[in-house]
C-alpha cells in the first residue's frame, strides 16, 4: 500500500538521504511558509534526534519504521520543555512540564517532532482563525481558511511540511480541516488513544488522531498511539490493525447515509451531486445502500455545543493566572481573576465559557444541559440501532466548501452550523475517517464503536472505487 | 437565601455577556423533543474494578525544574505563588 512513511524509511535505510538533511529540509519549508501553520519550531530537538538516527544507520544498526520520520503536533499537546500555548494569549509563555502519552509513544518509536502547530485557541473554532498566531491559510487556496480547529496540522501535511501530524478532534477538528485540505484525517473511537497531556476542551468527546496523506500512514500512526493508559481511565486496550486486513471488504455488505443531511437546504448543490454519484458507484460494486433517518442538523449542532460549552467552562476554570497563565493585577482578588480572564481569552473562547456557565446555572441546567445529555443518549441509541442494519455510514464532511478568511469570525452562528455533519459522530464516540475523495471536501466514513479497522478497510475500498 | 449571579461573575470574566449566536443554539434544545428528561448517561464511567492504583508517582527532576520555571519568583528557597484567597 502507498505510504510516505515506508518510502522515507526505505530511503533512510538505503542511505539515499540522511535524516539530518531530511529534517533540515522540512524545517526550512516550515520556516518559509506563509500559511501561518507554525506556533513554535522544535529545531534543536529535531536536529539532535536526526543526528542520532544517522549515527545508528551509519553504525549498521536496524532502525524502526517511524525512526527519523518528521511529524507535527497541534499546539494543545504537552511536550516536555516546549511551549504549549493552545494558540492563546493566556498561555503564550507556558512551558510543558511533561509529555502527552500519545506523543511520548511516537517519540519512543523514534519519530521526530518538528513543530507545534497553529490551531483555534483551545480548539474553539472551525477555521483556525481564533488564534494569536494569525489565521491559518488553506493549502489549496490561501484566500480560504485552513479549517479547524487542527488547521495548522492539516495544512502542514497537505503541503508536505510534515509526513504526518497529530490533531485533536472534539466535534470535527481533525476531519473538517482534513477535508478542507484534501488529506486523510482520523477521529478514532473515543478512548482508543489516551488524552493524557492533551489540553482538555470537552472531555467527553475529545479525541487524539492522526492526519496524513495515505491510509497506510494513518494505520501505522494509529497503531503506535493506541492502547490503555492508566493516566486516562477512559482508554481501553485495542488490537493492532494489520495492513493485510485492509485489502478486502469482507464484512461490508450495506452502507447507510443520512437522508436529512443530503436533503437539507444548507448543502451545496455540487457537494450533494458528488455525494449521490459516490453512492451510485458503491451500489455498482454490489454493496447495498440504505437511506437512514437521523436527527435534524440544528439539533445535533445545538446538543454538541451545549455539552461542549458546559465542559469547556469547567475545564478552563483553572486558567486564572495562578497556576496557568500570566496574571493581570487589578483592585481586588476577584477582580484580578476576572480581568486576567477577560484580557487573555479570545472572544470565541469567552463566548463558549459564558455559554457553558449559562447552561450549568440554576434554572437552566434542567431545561438545557440535562436535556442535552438526554439528547446525546438518544443520538447514541440511534447509532446503535443503525449499526444493526448497516456496516458503514457514509456522509459528506461539510455541507459546503471552505469559507474565505475572515468570514467565520463575522458570523459565529453560521460557523457552528457548518459543523452539522461532524458533531453527531463525536457525540456517538464513533470512529470516523475523512478521505480526500467523493466531494470537494471529502467523505466521512463511520462505523460502530471500536470498529476502527472497518473504516480504514472501507476507505481502502473507496480509494480504488471512486 | 438565593442570590442571582450574572454570567460575568459565574464565568469570572469581566464584562462578559451572553451571546445571541449561542442563545440561538440553546433555543433549539429548549424546544427539542426528548423521550424523557432523565439522563442515563454513563458513557464514560469507569468500573470500580478498573480503578488505577492509588499511589504517588514521583515527578522527574526535569519535570520539577520546568514547574519551577513556570513560577519564576523565589523567596528563601520557596516558590512564590500569587495570592489565591482573599476572603
Is pLDDT at A290 greater than 60 in this prediction?
A: yes
pLDDT at B75: 80
A302:B44 CB<8 A: no
Q: CA–CA separation, B42 vs A227, rounded Å?
A: 21
pLDDT value of residue A364: 85
Give the percent of chain A with pLDDT over 90.
94
Q: Is B42 part of the contact surface with chain A (CB cutoff 8 Å)?
A: no
Least Cα distance to A375 among B31, B70, B66, B73 occurs for B31
Task: Supply the CATH number for residue A56's domain.
Answer: 3.90.1300.10
Identify from A91, A233, A428 which residue to disrupt to test chain B contact, counting B C-beta atoms within 10 A and taking the largest count: A233
In this complex, do B32 and A368 lie within 8 Å of one another by their Cβ atoms? no
What's the pLDDT tens digit per position in A327-342?
888 988 889 999 999 9
- CA B31 to chain A, closest CA, distance in angstroms equals 9
- Residue pair A354/B11 in contact by the 8 Å Cβ criterion: yes
> CA A155, CA A136: separation in Å to the nearest integer?
8
- Chain B nearest CA to A323, separation (Å): 8
Q: How many domains does chain A have?
A: 1
Which has the minimum average pLDDT: A143-157, A222-236, B51-65? B51-65
Which chain A residues contact residue B62 at CB under 8 A? Answer: 80-81
- CA–centroid distance for A254 within its chain: 27
* B25 contacts chain A (CB < 8 A): yes
Distance, in Å, from the CA atom of A74 to the CA atom of A69, rounded to the nearest integer, reads: 17
B77 versus A68: which is more confidently predicted? A68
| Residue of A334, A357, A364 lying closest to B11 (CB–CB) | A357
pLDDT tens profile A422-444: 999 999 999 999 999 999 999 99
**Is residue A207 over pLDDT 90?**
yes
Give dist(CA A162, CA A153) in Å, integer: 8
A302, A361, A373 ranked by CB distance to B25: nearest: A302
Contact B29 A375 (CB under 8 A): yes
* Least confident window among A103-117, A172-186, A247-261, B43-57: B43-57
Question: Rounded to whole angstroms, how far apart are CA atoms B45 and B43?
Answer: 6
Question: In whole angstroms, what is the distance from residue A203 CA to residue A198 CA?
Answer: 10
Pairing mode, strands A443-446 and A432-435: antiparallel
CA of A131: how far to CAs of A126, A135, A363, B51, in Å? 11, 7, 34, 37
Is the CB of residue B47 less than 8 Å away from at least one CB of chain A?
Answer: no
Which residue in the set A302, A351, A376 is minimally distant from B41, CB to CB? A376
pLDDT tens per residue across span A244-269: 999 998 889 999 999 999 999 999 99
Q: What is the pLDDT of residue B67?
A: 86
Beta bridge partners of residue A258, listed in sequence order = A292
Residue B3 touches partner A, C-beta closer than 8 Å: no
Contact B33, B25 (CB under 8 A): no
- Report pLDDT for B40: 53
Contacts of A230 in chain B (CB under 8 A): 52-53
User: What predicted TM-score, i.e. pTM, was given to this entire model?
Assistant: 0.96
pLDDT of residue B36: 59
Contact A299 B59 (CB under 8 A): no
Would you call A374 and B52 a contact, using CB atoms and an 8 Å cutoff?
no
Mutate to test the interface with A, among B4, B9, B11 (most CBs of A within 10 A): B11
Q: Is the pLDDT at A363 greater than 90, yes or no?
A: no
B13 → closest Cβ in A321, A350, A361:
A350
Other residues' Cβ atoms within 10 Å of the Cβ of residue A140: 15
A377 has a chain B CB within 8 A of its CB? yes
CA torsion, points A75, A101, A90, A40, in degrees to nearest 10?
A: -30
Neighboring chain B residues of A234 at a CB cutoff of 8 Å: 44, 46
Which of B4, B9, B14, B60 to mutate to test binding with chain A, by most A CBs within 10 Å of its CB? B14
Confidence of residue A96 (pLDDT cuts 50, 70, 90): very high
In this predicted structure, what is the pLDDT of residue B1? Answer: 43
> Residue A221 pLDDT more than 70?
yes
Q: Is the pLDDT of residue A285 over 70?
A: yes
B11 — contact with chain A (CB < 8 Å)?
A: yes
Run of H or E including A372: helix A370-386
- From CA A169, how far away is CA A359, in angstroms rounded? 23
Sign, CA dihedral A142-A148-A153-A154, equals negative
The per-residue pLDDT for B42 is 47
Range of the domain at A86: 1-466
Closest by Cα among A296, A121, A297 to A199: A121
**From the candidates B6, B10, B12, which should be mutated to test the interface with A, based on the most A CB atoms within 10 A?**
B12
Per-residue pLDDT of chain B (87 residues; tens, 9 = 90+): 456 789 999 999 999 999 999 999 999 999 998 875 445 544 667 788 888 888 898 999 999 999 888 877 778 877 777 677 776
Which sign does the torsion angle of CA B38, A172, A425, A195 carry?
Answer: negative
Cβ of A306 within 8 Å of Cβ of B26? The answer is: yes
Please give, one letter per residue, the 3-state secondary structure of A217-233: HHHHHHHHHECCECCEC
B4 touches A at CB < 8 Å: no
Establish if A236 touches chain B: CB-CB under 8 angstroms: no
Q: Tell whether A243 lies on the interface with B, counting CB pairs under 8 A.
A: no
Judge contact between A154 and A181, C-beta under 8 A: yes
For A367-393, the pLDDT digits (tens) are 899 999 999 999 999 999 999 999 999
The verdict on a CB contact (< 8 Å) between A342 and B50 is no
- Residues with Cβ within 8 Å of A280's Cβ and at least 6 positions away in sequence, in order, are none
Separation between Cα atoms, residue A168 and residue A210, nearest integer Å: 8
Instruction: Mark yes or no for CB contact B29/A320 under 8 Å.
Output: no
Higher pLDDT, B26 or A324: B26
Q: Which sign, positive or negative, has the C-alpha torsion B66, B67, B73, B77?
A: negative
Contact B51 A233 (CB under 8 A): yes
What is the ipTM, given to two decimal places? 0.91
pLDDT confidence of residue B79: 73
State the catalytic residues of A. Answer: 74, 149, 173
Question: Is pLDDT of A404 > 50?
Answer: yes
Amino acid at each position: 500500500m502507498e505510504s510516505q512513511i515506508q518510502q522515507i524509511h526505505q530511503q533512510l535505510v538505503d542511505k539515499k538521504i540522511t535524516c539530518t538533511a531530511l529534517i533540515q529540509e522540512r524545517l526550512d519549508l516550515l520556516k518559509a511558509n506563509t500559511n501561518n501553520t507554525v506556533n513554535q519550531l522544535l529545531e534543536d530537538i529535531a536536529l539532535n534526534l536526526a543526528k542520532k538516527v544517522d549515527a545508528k544507520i551509519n553504525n549498521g544498526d536496524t532502525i524502526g519504521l517511524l525512526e527519523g520520520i518528521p511529524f507535527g503536533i497541534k499546539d494543545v499537546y504537552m511536550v516536555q520543555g516546549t511551549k504549549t500555548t493552545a494558540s492563546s494569549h493566556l498561555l503564550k509563555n507556558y512551558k510543558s512540564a511533561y509529555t502527552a502519552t500519545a506523543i511520548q509513544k511516537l517519540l519512543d518509536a523514534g519519530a521526530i517532532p518538528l513543530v507545534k502547530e497553529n490551531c483555534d485557541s483551545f480548539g474553539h473554532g472551525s477555521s483556525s482563525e481564533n488564534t494569536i498566531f494569525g489565521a491559518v491559510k488553506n493549502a489549496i487556496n490561501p484566500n480560504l481558511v485552513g479549517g479547524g480547529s487542527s488547521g495548522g496540522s492539516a495544512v502542514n501535511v497537505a503541503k508536505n511540511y510534515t509526513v504526518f501530524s497529530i490533531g485533536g478532534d472534539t466535534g470535527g477538528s481533525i476531519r473538517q480541516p482534513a477535508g478542507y485540505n484534501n488529506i486523510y484525517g482520523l477521529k478514532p473511537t473515543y478512548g482508543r488513544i489516551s488524552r493524557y497531556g492533551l489540553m482538555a476542551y470537552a472531555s467527553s468527546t475529545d479525541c487524539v488522531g492522526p492526519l496524513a496523506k495515505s491510509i497506510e500512514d494513518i494505520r501505522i500512526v494509529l497503531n503506535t498511539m493506541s492502547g490503555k493508559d492508566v493516566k486516562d481511565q477512559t482508554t481501553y486496550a485495542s488490537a493492532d490493525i494489520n495492513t493485510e486486513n485492509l485489502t478486502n471488504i469482507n464484512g461490508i455488505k450495506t452502507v447507510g447515509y443520512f437522508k436529512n443531511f443530503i436533503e437539507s437546504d444548507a448543502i451545496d448543490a455540487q457537494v450533494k451531486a458528488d455525494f449521490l454519484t459516490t453512492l451510485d458507484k458503491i451500489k455498482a460494486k454490489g454493496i447495498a445502500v440504505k437511506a437512514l433517518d437521523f436527527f435534524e442538523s440544528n439539533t445535533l449542532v445545538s446538543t454538541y455545543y451545549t455539552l461542549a460549552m458546559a465542559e469547556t467552562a469547567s475545564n478552563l476554570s483553572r486558567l486564572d493566572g495562578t497556576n496557568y497563565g500570566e496574571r493581570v493585577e487589578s483592585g481586588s482578588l476577584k477582580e484580578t481573576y476576572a480581568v486576567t480572564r477577560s484580557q487573555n481569552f479570545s472572544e470565541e473562547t469567552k463566548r463558549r465559557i459564558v455559554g457553558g456557565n449559562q447552561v450549568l446555572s440554576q434554572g437552566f441546567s434542567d431545561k438545557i444541559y440535562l436535556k442535552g445529555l438526554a439528547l446525546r443518549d438518544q443520538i447514541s441509541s440511534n447509532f446503535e440501532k443503525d449499526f444493526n442494519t448497516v456496516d458503514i455510514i457514509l456522509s459528506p464532511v461539510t455541507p459546503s466548501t471552505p469559507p474565505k478568511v475572515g468570514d467565520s469570525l463575522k458570523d459565529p452562528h453560521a460557523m457552528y452550523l457548518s459543523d452539522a455533519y461532524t458533531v453527531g459522530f463525536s457525540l456517538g464516540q464513533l470512529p470516523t475517517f475523512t478521505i480526500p475523495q467523493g466531494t470537494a471536501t471529502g467523505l466521512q466514513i463511520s462505523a460502530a464503536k471500536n470498529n476502527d479497522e472497518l473504516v480504514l478497510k472501507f476507505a481502502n475500498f473507496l480509494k480504488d472505487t471512486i | 437565601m438565593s442570590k442571582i449571579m450574572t454570567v460575568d461573575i459565574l464565568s469570572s470574566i469581566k464584562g462578559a455577556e451572553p451571546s445571541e449566536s449561542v442563545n440561538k443554539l440553546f433555543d433549539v434544545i429548549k424546544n427539542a423533543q426528548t423521550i424523557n428528561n432523565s439522563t442515563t448517561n454513563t458513557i464514560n464511567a469507569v468500573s470500580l474494578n478498573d480503578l488505577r492504583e492509588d499511589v504517588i508517582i514521583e515527578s522527574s527532576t526535569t519535570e520539577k525544574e520546568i514547574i519551577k520555571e513556570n513560577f519564576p519568583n523565589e523567596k528563601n528557597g520557596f516558590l512564590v505563588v500569587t495570592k489565591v484567597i482573599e476572603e
